Structure 1
Amino acid sequence: MEELLIDLYGGQFERELLAEIAAVGIYKDIPADTILMDFGQYVKSMPLLLQGAIKIMREDQQGDELLLYFLEKGDTCAMTLSCCMGATKSEIRAVTETDTQLILIPVQHMESWLGKYKSWRGFVMDSYHDRMMEMLDAIDSIAFMNLEDRVMKLLQEKAQIVQNKEVYNTHKELAQELHTSRVVISRILKKLENEGRISLHRSHITLIEADV
């Protein structure tokens, strides 16, 4: 674990902070499609992603979900920070997009490190900024992009995460993430295939335009 921490944060965190993370952090190796945090839960720790990806979902009053953003290697979640430090219930669902390795930092250490380590304060503030920009990007996509472009954007993001042109998601899963119906997604995917932008298969989608 210490080697992974040094590889990811050695140029960012003080040596003393890295040692504390290694001492108090709880290492987890989690398979894809695992719910890490759910709506209404109290959050007692903050994740640092060592490998893999996590998708962050929001729920509306009807119980439908919308993808806000992905967390990737080296990231943490600003909403998790807010819930931990404010002792409030989660308003998001965090699900592993791929097999994921992470370290969970207990809330009491998160707070003490804010005053103790300048690098940790910077990391937390940068995380808030990055997640805010990603949420603004999600809002812009809903407000200004048509659904066909949003589908293509989501497929490209997933391809970038796994560094592979093959995306293994069902039409239903894509529909849930984009807050629409499976029928609509299936129709759009077929249109994209007819345009030569993707290729549909029984278990996956191949991106022809992807740059990974």
Structure 2
Amino acid sequence: MEQLLKEAYGNVFEPALLTDIANVATLVDFKEGDHLIEIGQYIRQMPLLINGAIKIIREDRQEGELLLYFLEKGDTCAMTLACCLGDTKSEIRAVAETRGTVAMIPIGKMEEWLGKHKGWRNFVFSSYNKRLSEMLSAIDNLAFMKMDERLLSYLKEKSKVNQSKVITNTHQEIAYELNTSRVVISRLLKALENEGIIKLNRNTIELLK
């Protein structure tokens, strides 16, 4: 386990911290589509993403879901950190975008390492800042960007985390994550294809630019 942790976090965690994590962490494998965290759930362990990608979603019971951001290798979820340390229920849903592995850390160790390891303190504060910036970007997208701009940004981010120019989500799935209708998404995708930015295939969307 320590080697896996080193590959994902060796540039931010000191050797002693990597050893401490390996001694208490539990590795959990997941596959695409798995729900790793549910809204309303108490979180008793903090996830460190060893590999793969996870999308973090906020739910509006009347309007549907909204994609906040993606987690990638070497990340953790700041909102999960807050729930763990504050013993509060989760307000987000974490869904696996790809297959991968997380290392689950007990709550007690999270607090202990804040005083013991500088690398851990820096990582926690950096994660908060990064996730806050991403959530502010999500708010900006909603408030200031047109839907076609949000759609293109979404497609590029999906391509990045999946490391592929081909996106397999259906028009309905995209509409759900962007909190709009399938008809709107289909129309905007066709417009992007006419501009030569994407190519629509029977079950996939290919980014050309």
State if a TM-score over 0.5 links the two structures: yes
Other-structure match for 2:39 = 39
CA distance in 2, matches of 1:63, 1:105: 34
Query: How far off is 1:63 after superposition?
Result: 5.3
1:130 aligns to 2:130 (yes or no): yes
Amino acid at match of 2:129: H
Identity %: 57
Amino acid at match of 1:193: E
CA distance in 2, matches of 1:106, 1:202: 45
CA distance in 1, matches of 2:121, 2:74: 15
CA distance in 1, matches of 2:62, 2:8: 40
Query: How far off is 1:196 after superposition?
Result: 1.3
Other-structure match for 1:15 = 15
TM-score (norm: length of structure 2):
0.97
The 4+ residue runs of structure 1 with deviation greater than 4 A are none
* 1:21-170 matched pairs, under 5 angstroms: 21-62=21-62, 64-170=64-170
Post-superposition Cα deviations, 1:152-187, rounded to whole Å, max 9, x if no partner, equal 110001111122110111111111110111111111
Amino acid at match of 1:199: K
Query: How far off is 1:9 after superposition?
Result: 2.2
Other-structure match for 2:4 = 4
What SS is found at the alignment partner of 2:202?
coil
TM-score (norm: length of structure 1):
0.96
What SS is found at the alignment partner of 2:36?
strand
Post-superposition Cα deviations, 1:62-120, rounded to whole Å, max 9, x if no partner, equal 15100000001100000000001111000000001111111111111111111111110
Post-superposition Cα deviations, 1:128-169, rounded to whole Å, max 9, x if no partner, equal 000000001111111111000110110001111122110111
Other-structure match for 2:197 = 197
What SS is found at the alignment partner of 1:122?
helix
What SS is found at the alignment partner of 1:42?
coil
Alignment coverage as a number of residue pairs = 209
The answer to whether the 8 Å contact 2:63/2:179 transfers is no
Query: How far off is 1:11 after superposition?
Result: 3.2
CA distance in 2, matches of 1:105, 1:77: 13
Gaps of 5+ in 1: none
The answer to whether the 8 Å contact 2:50/2:73 transfers is yes
